Amino acid sequence: MGRWPDRSSKGRSRIRVRWRASLGLLGSILKWLAVPLAFPLLLAVLYQEPVLPFAVTMAITLALGEGLERLPEDEEIRGREAYLLVALAWLAVAVIGAIPFLLAGNGVLAQPVDALFESMSGVTTTGATVLDDFSVHGRAILMWRQVLQWLGGLGILVLAISVLSQLSVGGAQLMETETQTQDVTKLSPRITETARMMWGLYGGITALCAVSLYALSVVGVAPNMDAYNAIAHAMTAVATAGFSPSPDSVGAFAPVAQWLVVPFMFVGATNFVLIYYFVRGDWGRPLRNEEFRYYVGIVAGTTVLMTLLLVTDPGVTFPAEATVRHAVFQVVSILTTTGFATVDFNTWSPAARHLLFALMFLGGMAGSTTCSIKLLRWVIVAKSLRRDLFTAVHPEAIRPVRLGDRVVDEETIRDVYAYTLLSLLIFFALTVFIVVDGTRSGVTVSEFEAMAAAASTFLNIGPAFGFAGPYGSYGPFSNATKSAMILLMWVGRIEIIPVLVVATPAYWRS
C-alpha cells in the first residue's frame, strides 16, 4: 500500500518529456554542423576573405554540441522527444547559421535581427532576403547562405538520421514528425539507409545541376555562370530555396541558364521516393502517381494561363521566347516554393501578380524539398469535398477518398483539413500583424503586399511584392515584423504541428 501517494507527495508536477534525450541528440547534430561550415571556410581561404567568422562558428558549434551531448542518461527518442528535437534542431541551426553573418559584420547583416532573419530564411529554404547591397558581402558569406538552404532543403533531421547511428531506432519517428504529410516510405529496411539514399539522390541531382550549369559557361553560352555561381544556384534550385549570390537572382544569367534551372526546381519539388524509383529504372512510376499527375497538370495549366496574361498585358513587352520563359520560370519558381526570379514581376499586371500570389499556397509534392501546403493536401481536400457533395445527395453512400489505388483514411483527411485551415489562419494572423505593425512603425505596405509577404515567409517561398519583391529586400520591415516572420518561417517549415505541440502545456505533463 501507499507506494504512489509517496510519489505525488513530492508536490511538484513532473516534466514527462525526457528533454535531456532531445538535447543530447541536438548536440550530435550541432557537432556535425561543423562539416558544412568547412565549405565557406575553404572559399574564404581561397578568395582571401576573413576566415574568422567560420572558424569561430565551427568552434562554437563543436563546443555547444559536445556540451549538449553530455546531458542525457538515456538517448532513446520517442514520440514526444521527437517533437522537441525537430523544433529545436531547426531553431538551433538557424541561430548558429546567423553567427558567421554577425561576425563578418558587413552591411545589414551586422544587425542581429537581420542576421537571424537571413539565416532562418536560409535554413527554412524560404529565400526571403534582407540584403540590399550584395557587393559589401564576401563571396564566402554569400555561399554560406546557399549552403544553409541546401542543408534545409531535404530536412535537417533526414540528414541527421543518415549520419547519426544512434537514430536508427527513433529515426522513422523523427522523419515522420519532420514531414507531417505522409508516412515514411522506407526504401530499405533500415531507416539510416533510407535517409542515406534520399541524401545521395539529393546530392546527385544537385551535382548534376551544378555540372550542367557550369557546362553552359564552358561552352560559352552563359559566360557569367562560373563554377561558383553554378554550385551556388544548383544548391538552392534543387532545395527549392531561392537564395542567389546575385542581386538579380537567376535573371542575371543567360536565357539558356534560366531554362536549365526550371527542370531542377521542378524535380526538387517532386516526391523523392518517385525520383528514386525513376532513377532505378521504373520510368513509368511517376506517371502512375496521382499527385504527380496533378503536379504536372497544374504546372502546365498555370504556365499557359500566365503566358496568356503576359501576352495580353500591354505593359509587358517581351519577345515571344522571353514571354514563355518568364511565365514558365516564375510559375515553377513560386509553385515549387523556390523563389528565384528572372524578371521583376512587380511590374506585371494585377492579374498576373494575383496568379503568382495564389500559387504560393499550392507548393509541390509531399516528400520533396518543397514547402507551403503541398499538392497532396489540396488533392485530398478537393476529393473529400467532392465526396461530401456526393454524400449530401446520397446520405447512405460510403465513399472512401482514394489517392491512386490507395484509400486515404478518415483520420488523415481530418488532419489535412485541420492543417490547411491552420495554415490559412496563421497566414491571416501574420498579414494583420504586418499591416498593423507597418502602421505603427511607419512602413508603407499595402494590404496585398502584406498578404504576399505573409504568405511568402510563412509558406517559405521568398519574394513577395512591393519593396519585398524579387529584386527587393525585406529590410525595410520593422524589427517586430521581421521577428514575427522569423518565428513563422520556422513554424511553417516544420509544418506547424511540432512547434504547436511543444507549445501546449499538456505536452510537458503526463
Partner 1 sequence: MRVVIIGAGQVGESIAADLQHDHDVVVVENRDERADELTYALDVLTVSGDGTELSTLEDAGAADADMVLATTDDDETNIVACSTAKALSGSAFTIARIKNTKYLRTWERDEGAFGIDFMVCTNLLTAESIVRVVGLPAARDADVFANGRVQMAEFEVSEGSPIADQTVQEADRFDSLTFAAILRNGDVEIPSGDTCIKTGDRVVVIGSPRSVQQFARTLAPEVSPEKSAEVVVIGGSEIGYHVCRLLEERGLSPRLVEQDPDRARKLAEDLPETLVMESDATDMGFLEREHIGDADILVSTLDSDEKNLLECLLAERLGVERTVAVIDRTSYVDLFETVGVDVGLSPREVVAEEITRFTQSGSAENIAFIETDKAEVLEIELDDSSPLVGRTIRDAVGDLPEGVVIGAITRNKEFIVPRGDTELHPGDHVVVFVDAAVLDEAMETL
The only residue of 7, 220, 317, 405 in contact with partner 1, by rule CB under 8 A:
405
Q: Which is nearer to partner 1, 287 or 407 (CB)?
A: 407
Query: What is the nearest approach in angstroms of partner 1 to the Cβ of residue 378?
Result: 21
Q: Which residues contact 134 (CB under 8 A, 6 or more apart)?
A: 142, 245, 246, 247
Select 15 or 407, whichever has its Cβ closest to partner 1: 407
* Contact status: 392 vs partner 1 (CB under 8 A): no
Closest by alpha carbon to 130, among 498, 492, 474? 474
Instruction: Please identify which residue in 169, 300, 407, 424 interacts with partner 1, judged by CB under 8 A.
Output: 407
288 interacts with partner 1 by CB under 8 A: no
* Interaction of residue 398 with partner 1, rule CB under 8 A: yes
Residues of span 181-240 touching partner 1 by CB under 8 A: none
Size of the site for partner 1 (CB under 8 A): 9
Asked whether 357 and 368 are in contact (CB, 8 A), the reply is no
Hey, what long-range contacts does 295-303 have (CB within 8 A, 24 or more apart)?
Answer: 295/269, 295/270, 295/364, 295/365, 295/375, 298/335, 298/362, 298/375, 299/266, 299/331, 299/332, 299/335, 302/331, 302/335, 302/355, 302/359, 303/327, 303/328, 303/331, 303/332
- 440 binds partner 1 per the rule CB under 8 A: no
Determine the interface stretch with partner 1 among 70-78, 108-116, 254-262, 394-402 (rule: CB under 8 A).
394-402
Choice from 15, 110, 227, 397 touching partner 1 (CB under 8 A): 397
Q: How far is the CB of 172 from partner 1 (least distance, A)?
A: 25
**Neighbouring C-beta atoms of residue 78, cutoff 10 Å:** 13
Q: With respect to partner 1, which residue has the nearer C-beta, 223 or 400? A: 400
Q: What angle do CA 115, 438, 357 make, to 5 degrees?
A: 80
For partner 1, the closer of residues 392 and 506 by Cβ is 392
402 is a site residue for partner 1 (CB under 8 A) = yes
User: Which one of residues 2, 220, 394, 506 is an interface residue with partner 1 (CB under 8 A)?
Assistant: 394
C-alpha cell at 416: 489535412
CB of 395 to partner 1, least distance (A): 8
> CA 292, 295, 298, 303 torsion: positive or negative?
negative
Is residue 411 part of the contact set for partner 1 (CB under 8 A)? no
Q: Does 400 bind partner 1 (CB under 8 A)?
A: yes
Instruction: Give me the least distance between CB of 433 and partner 1, in Å please.
Output: 43
Residue with cell 506517371: 287
User: Per rule CB under 8 A, is residue 396 in the interface with partner 1?
Assistant: yes
Q: Which of 165, 216, 215 is nearest to 193 (CA)?
A: 165
Cα–Cα distance for residue pair 402/383, rounded to 1 Å: 8
E strand residue ranges, 140-229? none
Note whether 399 binds partner 1 by CB under 8 A: yes
Q: Which residue ranges make up the site for partner 1 (CB under 8 A)?
A: 394, 396-400, 402, 405, 407
